[in-house]
Structure 1
């Protein structure tokens, strides 16, 4: 019998005894919420929220955020926990903040978050790129509804923020609950769910690159009995980018359905389909000509299409189908099962830089080659949880027991064209397009496999009314394999096991201060083999000590948080060859620093978010001699930002709002090898702004601007031949209507 069937049958008695529970859950979910003069669609608790008798639930961590300030999260503990009782650094970005900043990508949505460097590799129409506390997070650190989005090779899942209810950024190791993952943290995207009250919402807009969109979001009850609820979200985008002759087109549709047979049980089906057509916009450019003038005294134009108008193609189709099942068996036990199948297939065929300038051209001719990749991903995951809320006579417990499994399969075919005379160089002053594509040959045809089975247990123990601790332990059993079709003798197999754990404590003063301390570890199996030794990659391991506090005065709608951390990652992958395609494992990387964030939603119509991050990250002395003690490339160590939005509440300007923000990113390095010149990528400061007007009839018009000064900046360099321009000035106009 499946766990779903088992829990349905076991929950019958509790459900029959709790027939009024559904009414409790639905009460208070009435129409759209008002924040200042802004009304959001689909407000209140999701239709799947289970509320026990006697509970007062004002926020579901899977539901909307009221303004900019969230009060609860499930990412850090997998239980519905107050932020003030969460002993780890967490930031929550709600749909209201996403809309206020005009974010159209996950990169843009997280740019005002501490510890996160978003858009590491520039303005990329294909992918989102992140660092968390200095460590790469776009590979193993992205999650969707608590289940991992594994991104490996050249096939990456991508999330459209229009389909999100909130984004939760958890910093530091999280392997206790989620298994394999980066020690820097995780970004968990929460999709929109069915609501108990009917609503409708449509929005349209266009930006200064000529990219326009139209979206809709509708939902509510399906039947009059209050058992079935639906939500349908969709968006279409199309038009230009900041790169000449490269468009970014997308369709996204996400049907969702919730079934509540009674007040103690809910089943929510979450599905989506997305298709993208675009090209390479994060060009691989040399340091000379982007960060500094080249030998001819020129800068490479930011809008230059390094590919070709006939050959700069990227296509992706992705689909998700999954469910969330929850039932309260009695006053103590709750059973949950979350599962999802994810599919993605991608194709890229482009002329790529990465080779620097053609010799003898005074740095006016960019050398190029042709790259083609065709890949397909199948990913299945299931997470079974049993939660027990009880007292042992001395302490209150929220105990969580779980078993999860993931199976990732990647079929990858990479090819390139270097044949003589090869791809002609591109003149950065007078580019000539229309080059005939080369015949390409595959240099890699691999089937990569990753499977992981994990068993975990966690206990949130309330020692007193003020002091609580969290302790947990996890055992993982992982296997990785690489089947090389072109070189079968180089195929690899590996089995790994690991124990990870966390112990933490938090004290809640009655005036709203909550200091905490935590220690946590992480475990991440790696796919592939060492470029120096030929051995299969060992898992990398992380450990972190974090101390911090949150301060949220009672009755106020603002929260101040601070964290200091000491994080070590053992067995990191260190690039050892051109094009960042070969790696070795040796030694460790340490990241030590501090973060602070202030978020407020005030009754006067003012929303604020501000943060600062400063850390020192470097390779240890036991790693490769040429990088020991050096800071990894493409890693700024100081980040600061502030964004404020104000809406008039009364008087003749009622409904009119305006705001703006500053984003500062410190300098980073383009080379970390002691045998080469220490090239620096300079710091930059960007200005954003917004104006908007909310009409009383449900219509809202807005105009947002990012990088208003149109500063030409380089977001990062991986080496002297791979630098990336950041986003140019982007003005976005939109109009929406809700009912």
Structure 2
């Protein structure tokens, strides 16, 4: 049973692209209204391939999935992946604050920005300080899958994954340009062109690009970027497609998340002061972050006959990152009544090379009793990181900085390397999945995967080399029943396996793999003929061998015990009537360290993890009459309390909850021109997004007003 899609709402035609991607393969007799790699109608998607690696209706997907399309990205004014996912259940975005360098996420309470980010179904491994980053302007949609996904992807956090789907060539020619600027003085210009590249109907292209530059909410720190993404599709016939996907991105920025103490951010400090959000803890001479990343890959698919389809997806990814800055993390200087922050100098220079290939064979057939969609796959990934980290401390001459009257112009120090590593990770996986239609209404999904992984760390500075080989069998079994009126209850059990790169800060041994298991029950309701979907999920998820910080900071970890997450999520997305789009969600879970953890942590909640959050956003465009094309909307985001400290020895430090308001006003002139003003955190509330510990807290985004104008032809 498939959800029904209605006509496009007012304003949808002003979005870049539109229609099915040129690579969509349609078998004779098929009626395809939505491709899981293509655009969606309003805020309501009906299909996704992230949970199954097949083109599957969400009503037949027995796992919690949310899809964010271009219309929602534009309505909310999202300029980062953090902002793009702020109205999604189970996701806490921007956990480390407003960071001009990176995006940070928790899924069901677990870190997902390291192993849980994917691009077009292939993993973006983010380790150390070399993180890939995605610009939302280059995306068609964002799929958020919650819960273990190792059956098909081999790795990833047990909390789930965020799969970004890049824009693809279209069979319909179009052109699009956009410009905008925000209240921090950051401006951009963007373009998106595509369509047939020849007269034969075999070649199609798309060229997408954006350039950004200007300020941030932190004084003296700019966030500049160039991004360009050429793509090409070849369709020799109706059964075969080959799509080349490439992109290049370069970033120039600095540290804006700042690593501040709990006293002075979450609560007033000893002097009764709050540290200004705009404070540059670095220096005008030394707050540098640069990244250069490139991707080249392809997606090949051919339908051999009415039964067999073969696919191969491959990509080579490259990233080179450099940071040199003064940072906090050390709290206040003694004897200053908490008016002077201690600092040290941090430098990192790293390079990543990542190659991945995923081979799939899908068979759709009936055995006389049941209908099957069987997927066989073999995938391989090879990750290589060269990492050089160095530091200088206050004892070596780095002065503190006043939170009242900061003085800049400090001369950078010579930095000593404390880590020069070569990290390697390889993984081969063999998997099989069967989606079985037992009846017209009842389906089950079962699958197995065997992984073989190896990790190694070659120490060129201090410490001993480490090597580790692991293998694991992961699986999923799930069932869903589709009632004729659009209700689809489901139940699933799944496991996960994620080899960890790096070594234990206490033992020096290579990290053990991260394992997870989850039971999930839920339902989706999408009545036939209606354009809305209500989803609900309850889950019990346990993660074994999590990384636990051993000292303040984000690079020193040990492994001990397990963490359990039990909770519920609900989401409502709708195109309620012509011109009105709505998304709303609520998430609540209980996260605790369980047996095997450090004694002081058992029964306690990990730091930096809000356990309750909810949101609502609506956008309306007047469809008829003299005000046709005028639109407005708004949203509210609530995030509950979290902890900067929670253990049996030192007690608790609570990070306050917060409530934020967003709004948008826009006008579609009807001739391809559209103008908009979007506001985030309209009340300019000063809030702490999370704290890792008492010396590492992060301010969230200040009020941001964004004005844009676009033209499509």
Normalising by structure 1, what TM-score? 0.95
The separation in 2 between residues aligned to 1:664 and 1:418, in whole angstroms, is 38
**1:615 corresponds to 2:593:** no
| Structure 2 residue aligned with 1:698 | 672
Q: Provide, for residues 607-663 of structure 1, a one-character-per-residue CA deviation record: whole Å limited to 9, x for no partner.
A: 000000000001003210011110000000001000000110111111000000000
| Structure 2 residue aligned with 1:521 | 495
Deviation of the 1:419 alpha carbon: 6.7
Q: Which of these residues, 217, 227, 230, is aligned with residue 192 of structure 2?
A: 217
Q: Which of these residues, 549, 572, 575, is aligned with residue 523 of structure 2?
A: 549
Q: Which of these residues, 553, 562, 584, is aligned with residue 579 of structure 1?
A: 553
Secondary structure in 2 aligned to 1:52? coil
Secondary structure in 2 aligned to 1:578? coil
1:316-355 paired onto structure 2 within 5 Å:
316-355=291-330
The answer to whether the Cα contact below 8 Å between 1:326 and 1:337 also exists between their aligned partners in 2 is yes
**1:315 corresponds to 2:290:** yes
Q: Which of these residues, 584, 592, 612, is aligned with residue 638 of structure 1?
A: 612
1:137-152 paired onto structure 2 within 5 Å:
137-152=112-127
The answer to whether the Cα contact below 8 Å between 2:343 and 2:394 also exists between their aligned partners in 1 is no
Q: Which of these residues, 136, 151, 168, is aligned with residue 193 of structure 1?
A: 168
| Structure 2 residue aligned with 1:443 | 418
1:163-562 paired onto structure 2 within 5 Å:
163-418=138-393, 420-487=395-462, 490-562=464-536
The answer to whether the Cα contact below 8 Å between 1:477 and 1:497 also exists between their aligned partners in 2 is yes
The separation in 1 between residues aligned to 2:568 and 2:137, in whole angstroms, is 31
Q: Provide, for residues 214-257 of structure 1, a one-character-per-residue CA deviation record: whole Å limited to 9, x for no partner.
A: 00000000111100000000000000000000000000000000
The separation in 1 between residues aligned to 2:552 and 2:579, in whole angstroms, is 52
Deviation of the 1:169 alpha carbon: 0.1
The separation in 1 between residues aligned to 2:228 and 2:505, in whole angstroms, is 42
The separation in 2 between residues aligned to 1:413 and 1:696, in whole angstroms, is 54
Q: Structure 2 vs 1, CA of residues 419 and 671 (structure 1 numbering), >3 Å: closer, same or farther? A: closer
Deviation of the 1:421 alpha carbon: 4.4
The answer to whether the Cα contact below 8 Å between 1:636 and 1:665 also exists between their aligned partners in 2 is yes
Secondary structure in 2 aligned to 1:490? coil
Deviation of the 1:581 alpha carbon: 3.0
**1:66 corresponds to 2:41:** yes
| Structure 1 residue aligned with 2:50 | 75
Secondary structure in 1 aligned to 2:78? coil
The separation in 2 between residues aligned to 1:533 and 1:323, in whole angstroms, is 42
| Structure 2 residue aligned with 1:654 | 628
The separation in 1 between residues aligned to 2:506 and 2:417, in whole angstroms, is 23
Secondary structure in 1 aligned to 2:33? coil
The separation in 1 between residues aligned to 2:252 and 2:346, in whole angstroms, is 17
The separation in 2 between residues aligned to 1:420 and 1:680, in whole angstroms, is 32
The separation in 2 between residues aligned to 1:584 and 1:216, in whole angstroms, is 46
The answer to whether the Cα contact below 8 Å between 1:36 and 1:603 also exists between their aligned partners in 2 is no
The separation in 2 between residues aligned to 1:648 and 1:578, in whole angstroms, is 52
The answer to whether the Cα contact below 8 Å between 1:37 and 1:649 also exists between their aligned partners in 2 is no
Q: Provide, for residues 661-690 of structure 1, a one-character-per-residue CA deviation record: whole Å limited to 9, x for no partner.
A: 000000000012322131000000000000
Q: Provide, for residues 77-120 of structure 1, a one-character-per-residue CA deviation record: whole Å limited to 9, x for no partner.
A: 00000000000000000011000000000000000000000000
The separation in 1 between residues aligned to 2:45 and 2:521, in whole angstroms, is 21
Q: Structure 2 vs 1, CA of residues 445 and 421 (structure 1 numbering), >3 Å: closer, same or farther? A: closer
Secondary structure in 1 aligned to 2:473? strand
The answer to whether the Cα contact below 8 Å between 1:145 and 1:188 also exists between their aligned partners in 2 is yes
The answer to whether the Cα contact below 8 Å between 1:36 and 1:606 also exists between their aligned partners in 2 is no
**1:727 corresponds to 2:701:** yes
Q: Provide, for residues 371-411 of structure 1, a one-character-per-residue CA deviation record: whole Å limited to 9, x for no partner.
A: 00000000000000000000000000000000000000000
The separation in 1 between residues aligned to 2:443 and 2:561, in whole angstroms, is 36
The separation in 2 between residues aligned to 1:334 and 1:382, in whole angstroms, is 17
Secondary structure in 1 aligned to 2:73? helix
| Structure 1 residue aligned with 2:690 | 716
Count of residues paired in the alignment: 706
Secondary structure in 2 aligned to 1:636? coil
**1:133 corresponds to 2:97:** no
The separation in 2 between residues aligned to 1:234 and 1:41, in whole angstroms, is 12
Q: Which of these residues, 84, 91, 98, is aligned with residue 109 of structure 1?
A: 84
**1:38 corresponds to 2:12:** yes
Secondary structure in 1 aligned to 2:645? coil
List structure 1 segments (4+ residues) > 4 angstroms apart after TM superposition. none
The separation in 2 between residues aligned to 1:276 and 1:405, in whole angstroms, is 29
Deviation of the 1:41 alpha carbon: 2.6
Deviation of the 1:577 alpha carbon: 1.9
The answer to whether the Cα contact below 8 Å between 2:139 and 2:167 also exists between their aligned partners in 1 is yes
Secondary structure in 1 aligned to 2:646? coil
Q: Provide, for residues 265-311 of structure 1, a one-character-per-residue CA deviation record: whole Å limited to 9, x for no partner.
A: 00000000000000000011001111111111111011000000110
Q: Provide, for residues 297-349 of structure 1, a one-character-per-residue CA deviation record: whole Å limited to 9, x for no partner.
A: 11101100000011000000000000000000001000000000000000000
Deviation of the 1:418 alpha carbon: 2.3
The separation in 2 between residues aligned to 1:649 and 1:420, in whole angstroms, is 66
| Structure 1 residue aligned with 2:645 | 671
Q: Provide, for residues 172-228 of structure 1, a one-character-per-residue CA deviation record: whole Å limited to 9, x for no partner.
A: 000000001100000000000000010000000000000000000000001111000
The answer to whether the Cα contact below 8 Å between 2:394 and 2:400 also exists between their aligned partners in 1 is no
